Amino acid sequence: MELELKDIQGYIVRGYKYMMYSRYVMLNVTEPALAKKFLKNNVADITNVTHHPTTHCLNFAFTSPGLKALGLAQDNLDNFTREFREGMTTEHRQRLLGDFDSSAPANWRWGGTNNEEVHILLMVFGANKEIALNYADQLKQQYIASGLKEVFSLDGQTLPYTKEHFGFRDGISQPTIKGSGREGPPEHDINAGEFIMGYKNEYNVYPDTPILATLQGETTLLPFDASGSGKRDLGRNGTYMVMRQLQEDVDAYWSFINDQTKNEDGTVNVEASTKLAAQMVGRWPSGAPIVKHPDVDPGGISDDDNFFYTEHDPDGLKCPFGAHLRRTNPRDNFEDNGVKESIRLTRRHRIMRRARLYGDPYEGSALNHSPDGEVGLMFTCFNADISRQFEFVQYTWANYPKFKQLYNDPDPICGVKENPLPGTEQNFTIPGKPVNKYVTGLKKFVFTKGGAYFFFPSVTAINYLSTI
């Protein structure tokens, strides 16, 4: 089945890397009728996969409370997945995602338990800052007049060399979607149903989709369910989007690493610090995978994603088992199931990751680790099954301290607890011969400042929502 690219919002497939600046605006619906008119008036400007605008892009997403605020009937809302309906702030999700202490939802700036509800997410992307903000201001006049209250906004940007604030190349290990026109190597080319509803996934079945239980609005706008139920499908060509504002404590990260590797006289050992940081990430600052370059960063800019762990490093002597990259995408090294089975299992837990920097652009290193002001990532990912994809990766692969052959090792980048239980060790193990090395007393470097689960509908579905 061919992908209906004109009906799929473009951000999921294209990422808009050429749009250097963005603004994310969280809106609250106060007057549903006017809010739906605002959507209707802007449907034609929504950027789909086939659009290639040179100046700006526009996409929309909706929370579960947002769909309810627009007037979606409860029995229609009930057909969305449990994770989406419950949201990110339940006690269960706190445990899954590690959102405790200063990262607890009670302390978030948006989307948390003490914040005003987010209903609609307006995403504006521009070729540069001026274009993005001018377009955002034009839309602001419209949504204010439509009774949409702005509860939070955050600007994000991407850089030509796509390094994040810790100083490492980012966004390299991304899957591609079969049928999207952007196919990659076979091992990274994933069935569309893993990321977009209405198409078969890696289990060769259609993912759960929110079909209409009660007819409301102009239902003829919606397609019929692809699995053959005969009911109208609100989810087709849409997906679920996870968004989390993640503050990066660059100074704490590099100070910790420098303390582990300093020279006998107490000075910074730049070479040793950079290597340890690369071992924790799984790539060098250039983006080169350490599984291929275990000792020295080859330099330049690297997008090399052509490697397997069993083939190049079965014992973790080059890239430690606990490295962020190896944990969040195990490739052929998933458990002890053999290469082919490992790849098959890994493919069922991939996410389409899209992230943008917030704060002033900054490139951390052993000698450069004190940015001016707060910096971080607006982490965004797409998946058709939040539980099996995003939540599984975060809990089972990143947060779980007994990953693979490890025992007290959370993901050193995004899995460390701020205040671990007394007597609980948080280590990073570097396999070696004859003995392993251990970095002990890991500290938390990434903190959650906001987040939500969104429905990222098709263009058709947004048009439909304006009629309910």
pLDDT digits (tens, 9 = 90+) for 117-145: 999 999 999 999 999 999 999 999 999 99
Query: Alpha-carbon distance 219 to 213, whole Å?
Result: 11
Q: Are residues 323 and 216 in the same domain?
A: no
pTM reported for the whole predicted model: 0.96
Please report whether residue 346 resides in a domain. Answer: yes
Q: Are residues 328 and 223 in the same domain?
A: no
Helix (H) or strand (E) holding 134: helix 129-145
Q: Do 206 and 283 reside in the same domain of the chain?
A: no
Does residue 176 belong to any structural domain of this protein?
no
| Whether residue 88 sits in one domain with residue 103 | yes
* 186, pLDDT greater than 90: no
Show the domain range for 344: 245-450
Residue at 194 is within a domain: no
Q: Which band of pLDDT confidence, cut at 50, 70 and 90, is reported for residue 171?
A: confident
Structural domain contains residue 179:
no
Cα 50 to Cα 374: distance, rounded to the nearest angstrom: 36
**For the chain, how far is it from start to end, CA to CA, in angstroms?**
29
173 inside domain? no
On whether residue 388 sits in a domain, the answer given is yes
In a domain, 436, yes or no: yes
- Alpha-carbon dihedral sign for residues 190, 303, 164, 129: negative
Instruction: Compute, in degrees rounded to 10, the torsion defined by CA atoms 57, 63, 68, 70.
Output: -20
DSSP β-bridge partners for residue 2 = none
Higher per-residue pLDDT: 313 or 160: 313
**Same domain assignment for residues 235 and 293:** no
Q: How far, in Å, CA of 250 to CA of 368, rounded?
A: 9
With a cut of 90, say whether residue 333 has pLDDT above it. Answer: no
Residue 185 belongs to some domain of the structure: no
pLDDT at 334 over 70: no
